[in-house]
Amino acid sequence: MQIFPRSLNKLPFIAAAVGGILGPGVVLAAWYYVTPKNFQVGYAPTQPVPYSHRLHAGQMGMDCRYCHANVEKSAKAMIPPTQTCMGCHAMVRTESAKLAPVRSSWETGKPVEWVHVHKLPDHAYFDHSVHVGVGVGCATCHGRVDQMEVVASDQPINMGWCLDCHRNPTPNLRPRDQVTNMTWTPEQSKGFTPPEVHPPTHCSGCHR
């Protein structure tokens, strides 16, 4: 006596077909909806002050290091303190409504709560000073910030992307005095010999 109908013989094939379609769908959905937004190219959070990099770094030509002063000597580039902003805005656009949070911060001593655009997970170690020190330009990782009204993530900044550079760093190196030059091209430094560097590709290089 047959207990199960013959139609059940198709069940493994049906399950495999559904799994083949549903499985990748679940993975893609999780990647899109669960992965932190700051890992996605194009991520551009709303800041408490509508600061324009296009104006400051682009039109006015301000060097990145004026605000991100620690980039050459520290692991973190540093978000500028209110004092840096007020160095100019104590005299420039002193009544601007857009700068009200900056003036409030200056008066109260409470820092402006800027939103990180490029925020690595805690298990990943990155040192800005090491990269800048060998000639990795700001634009290599952050894109043409001088053209961005609102700063957005320009590169995926994931492990695979970092390893691609660590395995072949030479194309991303430039003279150290051109690191913050957003318009630099290799043709501007003919005869430049990139330093011989050997960035780590083993796990402990970034996961310490």
- The reply to whether 177 falls in a domain is yes
3-class secondary-structure state, position 173: strand
Same structural domain, 169 and 120:
yes
Tell me the mean pLDDT per 10 residues along the chain, length 208.
Answer: 71 81 78 71 95 97 96 94 96 96 97 93 94 97 97 93 96 96 94 94 94
Same structural domain, 147 and 190:
yes
What pLDDT was estimated at residue 34? 65
* pTM of structure: 0.81
- The reply to whether 100 falls in a domain is no
What pLDDT was estimated at residue 21? 84
Rounded distance, CA 72 to CA 128, Å? 7
**Can you read off the two tokens belonging to residue 5?**
């109908």
Domain with 27 in it: 10-39
Same structural domain, 176 and 201:
yes
Same structural domain, 31 and 118:
no
Q: Which residue type does 8 have?
A: L
What pLDDT was estimated at residue 24? 82
Same structural domain, 19 and 71:
no
What distance, in Å, lies between the first and last C-alpha atoms of the chain? 64
Q: What is the DSSP string of 136-158?
A: B-HHHHH--GGG-SS----S--S
What pLDDT was estimated at residue 174? 97
- The reply to whether 134 falls in a domain is yes
Same structural domain, 74 and 16:
no
Q: What is the DSSP string of 4-72?
A: S-GGGGGHHHHHHHHHHHHHHHHHHHHHHHHS-GGGSTT--PPPSS---HIIIIIIS---HHHHSTTTT
Same structural domain, 71 and 174:
yes
Same structural domain, 62 and 161:
yes
What pLDDT was estimated at residue 205? 94
What pLDDT was estimated at residue 179? 97
Same structural domain, 28 and 122:
no
Same structural domain, 146 and 184:
yes
